[in-house]
């Protein structure tokens, strides 16, 4: 009962006590925040909580990626390319910094590598991205055939959320460990783009009950995880570490600030401000 009440309470975001100093986040290049699978920008429950507003108050020029919720990485990469080109035209900037959660990191990697966008991306920071796949996706795709009603239901939801042509069966298959082996062999990092990664982990599935089943599956096959992505799978490029906090840890969703500004003693918007301040210090 306590876990249910705790989870219900955290769906009403609260502002953390700290504020990013003025101009501390004004990076050389604009920042684009990219959500993961199952989310859209401008939803009732924001995929990034108060983070965009927090960064803007610190001087950052922040945009949202406007990716599809249930589209393939190829489809979303095309959308992202157009989005970046539009932002560069309107701002006069030469490049952008991408900060991507979950599958958004894979969409970004594909776009940079395969769509000739390496010269227009200064950095890619991935947050809890399944670079090496997820055991939960393995299990889900084994249990659900391509024509399963569950995919049809997800696609219907995707259209309601704003996706023009959702392909949830493809999007989920892309996240299997076997698919990601092929992806990594084909999608190479581009020289001149700075790649870095972060992740999180839950210490107890009670921390975020919606990941109860997936957490246990991934723990069995891959070890420590955030409910969707293992600690090992989230690592790509310059791995910067795992966000855990105090208590029961931080889940795959909680690290986006969508459920609360403060989780396990960590001020999530302030943590992102730290990432942006570090990018600024490196000249990005």
pLDDT, tens only, 5-20: 333 333 334 444 467 8
What pLDDT is recorded for position 151?
Answer: 78
pLDDT of residue 136: 96
pLDDT at position 45, please? Answer: 61
pLDDT at 71 (0 to 100): 87
Q: What is the pLDDT of residue 2?
A: 31
pLDDT value for 99: 99
Q: What is the model's pLDDT at position 17?
A: 44
Domain ranges of the chain: 2-281
3-state SS string for the chain:
CHHHHHHHHHCCCCCCCCCCCCCCCCCCCCEEEECCCCCCCCCCCCCCCCHHHHHHHCCCCEEECCCCCCCCHHHHHHHHHHHHHHHHHHHCCCCEEEEEECHHHHHHHHHHHHCCCHHHEEEEEEECCCCCCCHHHHHHHHHCCCCCHHHHHHHHHHHHHCCCCCCHHHHHHCCCHHHHHHHHHHCCCCCCCEEEEEEECECCHHHCHHHHHHHHHHHHHCCCECCCCECCCCCCCEEEEEECCCCCECCCCHHHCCCCCEECCEEHHHHHHHHHHHHHHCCC
Say what the pLDDT of residue 6 is: 36
- The residues of the chain scoring below 70 in pLDDT are 1-18, 42-45, 162
In this prediction, residue 18 carries a pLDDT of 67
CATH architecture label of 2-281: 3-Layer(aba) Sandwich (3.40)
Tens-place pLDDT, residues 133-151: 999 999 999 988 777 778 7
């Amino acid at each position: 009962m306590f876990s249910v009440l705790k989870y219900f309470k955290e769906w009403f975001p609260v502002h953390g006590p700290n504020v990013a100093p003025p101009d501390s986040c004004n990076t050389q290049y604009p920042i684009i925040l990219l959500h993961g699978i199952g989310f859209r920008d401008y939803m009732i429950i924001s995929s990034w909580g108060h983070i965009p507003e927090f960064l803007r108050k610190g001087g950052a020029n922040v945009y949202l990626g406007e990716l599809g919720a249930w589209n393939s990485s190829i489809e979303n990469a095309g959308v992202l390319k157009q989005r970046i080109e539009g932002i560069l035209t309107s701002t006069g900037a030469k490049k952008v910094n991408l900060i991507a959660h979950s599958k958004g990191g894979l969409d970004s990697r594909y776009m940079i590598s395969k769509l000739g966008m390496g010269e227009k991306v200064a950095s890619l920071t991935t947050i809890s991205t399944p670079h090496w796949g997820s055991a939960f996706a393995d299990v889900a795709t084994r249990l659900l055939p391509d024509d399963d009603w569950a995919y049809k239901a997800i696609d219907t939801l995707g259209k309601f959320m704003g996706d023009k042509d959702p392909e949830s069966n493809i999007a989920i298959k892309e996240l299997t460990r076997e698919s990601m082996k092929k992806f990594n062999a084909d999608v190479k990092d581009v020289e001149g783009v700075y790649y870095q990664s972060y992740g999180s982990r839950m210490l107890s599935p009670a921390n975020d009950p919606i990941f109860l089943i997936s957490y246990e599956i991934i723990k069995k096959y891959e070890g420590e995880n955030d409910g969707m992505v293992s600690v090992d799978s989230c690592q790509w490029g310059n791995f910067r570490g795992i966000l855990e906090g105090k208590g029961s840890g931080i889940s795959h969703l909680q690290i986006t600030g969508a459920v609360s500004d403060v989780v396990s003693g960590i001020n999530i918007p302030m943590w992102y401000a730290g990432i942006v301040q570090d990018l600024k210090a490196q000249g990005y």
